[in-house]
Structures are given as structure tokens and as C-alpha cells.
Amino acid sequence: MKRKVYLASLPNGYFGSAKNSWGTLSVERLTSSFPTDVYDINFISITDIPEIEFNSDDTLIYTSLYNNEVRSYLKDILYYVKDQCLIIPSYEILLAHENKGFQEVMRSQFNNVDFSGQYVFDLDQIKIPVPFVLKTVDGSGSSGVQLIKTAKDLATVKKNANQLPLKRAMKKIIRSKQLSTESYSLYSYFYKPFKRFVAQPFLEKLNCDYRVLVIEQRFYAMRRDVRKGDFRASGSKKFHHNKVPSELLDYAKEIFEELDNPFISMDLALKDGKPYLIEFQGTNFGSSVIRRSVGYYCKTNEGWEFLEKESLHEETLSYGLLSYVERKNA
């Protein structure tokens, strides 16, 4: 009997992410590697998922979206499905999509923790000493990322983040005169404008970072130079495909194995010979590292070997999907 594979796009047929974030991948090409005599391929919408009775040997491959409402919908409908069949990406990767906070939670479970950030919903709870990098939990590229150099910088961010709407601010003034000190403290905390942030130690004097995309046994990598007068390489558009240090590829392999997904896109840094994981995504990630590359790295008994070979985006992802499904079903 054939194994069922469901490929779930959005209701309009979108499956991300192509060259442009709004562009769709071809679901037919994404499953082109799957032999039809072994797998029964079914193209569905994510809205069909609640109506399907999955078997333990089924596979559900679905797309996510940057939009928080769609991601929340997926989290809800896949909560029980994840225990019924193999879902790709994994539920944990879905939780980490556009969520740097959950990425920090996952990082804390790694066997090899490089550096520990702090995930907070209240800036007053940050304990990392300055300087550090402060990030909103969502946002791509360098958006929502700033360097906190001094305690004064942090105080400014807190002031801006803790601003109340005018009506609520006026009520707060009135309550301060009506309530006891203890009650007013509880009142102020209840209406405090909380917002989630991630604080990470600042790796000083970096002139670049690396984007590494792992697709099963293939490691695509490029260097990104830091922008002049900035500390961020993300969004700089200064790409290079120079030789990638082997210690960085070794570390990427460790992270990939920890996350257990067909593909992982990572932002990595190398400082004093030690690699660090900055961020990662396992779904709806950019494809520039594949499209701009003339080949990929593979790990051999002799070390890392670079294979010059053109890679087509969807066909490469299809290779990763099939390899992963067969590995999980072995």
C-alpha cells in the first residue's frame, strides 16, 4: 500500500517561500522527488486539515506564513495532528517561526549551548549586562534589532515601550491618588504595556556573519559583511561565497541534528574561532543562499568538500523532504 503524503498550501494555493516572500513555490515540483509507486501525493489546503483522519504512516507537509493569525490557526489545528502522523515542519519549528522568543527556549535545550539570551515580556526583567542586542520577537532582516550600549539606552527603550494611551495614562494618575501604595502597585502592573523581547549578548567587533542553509546532507553557505557604521550583517545585501570555515560548518551540522527538520536556515557568527547561533528558521525562509550559490558543502570522511553544482530551489527542497521522510520511516 502506498504511503500518503499531504501537501497543504494556503486556500489560494500559496506555499512559501519563493524569491519574493509573496511568491509561491510549485507544490508539484516540491514533490517531484517522491516516487509515485511508493507515495500517494495529495494536494490540499490547510483548511482541509481538520477534516482529515490521519494514519501513523502518513506525512503532512504544510506551509506557514509571516501573518500571526495564520500561524496561530496552524498552531491550533496541528496540536493534535502532530501526534497522529509525521508533520513537516515539526510543531516546534512552527512555534519558532517568526518567534525569536521560542527560538531562545529551543536553544536552551541544545546539548551545545553557545551563548544564552534572555526571553522576557517585561523590559524591567532583563538581567543581561550592557552592551547587549535587543530584539522584538518577530520581524525579519534587521528590523526590530537594536544595540543597547549603556543603561541610558535601555532606560530610553523602556520609556518608549511603557508609554500608555492618553486615556489610560489619565486614569493611572487618578488611581494613584485613590489607591493605597500596595493597590496602586498592583494596578500599575496589571495595565503595564507588556511586549516580548529577546536580549542576546553582544559579539563585539564582528565584520561579518554567515547564512547557512542545511538541506539534509547539503550545506549551502554565504558570508554577509556588516554594513558600514552598523553592527548588523542581516539586511546588508553584501554577500560573498568565499570558503566557509570548517568549524562553522561543523557547528551548523550539530544544530541541524538538534532541530530534526528536513531543512534549517541559520544565521551564524564566528568569533575567536568559536561559532555562535544568532537565529534560525525551519520554514518559509529566504532562498538567496541557494539561488546565489554555485554549489554546496558535504561532509565526507576527509572533511568538508565543496561540490560545484547548480541547485534549483524547489527540486532541492524536494530532495530534502524525501530524504527526511525516508529517514524518519526507516
Task: Say whether pLDDT at 208 is over 50.
Answer: yes
- Band of the pLDDT at 238, cuts 50, 70, 90? low
Q: Could you give the percent of the chain with pLDDT greater than 70?
A: 95
Cis before 64? omega within 30: no
Angle, vertex CA 142, rays to CA 136 and CA 148, nearest 5:
60
Task: Say whether pLDDT at 233 is over 50.
Answer: no
pLDDT of residue 229: 59
Cα–Cα distance measured from residue 63 to residue 121, given in angstroms and rounded to the nearest whole number: 28
- SS3 of residue 146 by DSSP: strand
Mean pLDDT estimate for the chain = 91
- Band of the pLDDT at 41, cuts 50, 70, 90? very high
pLDDT of residue 234: 52
Q: Which of 310, 223, 311, 323 is nearest to 270 (CA)?
A: 223
Task: Say whether pLDDT at 232 is over 80.
Answer: no
Angle between helix 166-178 and 181-190 (nearest 10):
160
Task: Say whether pLDDT at 22 is over 90.
Answer: no
- For the stretch 284-294, pLDDT in tens is 998 888 988 88
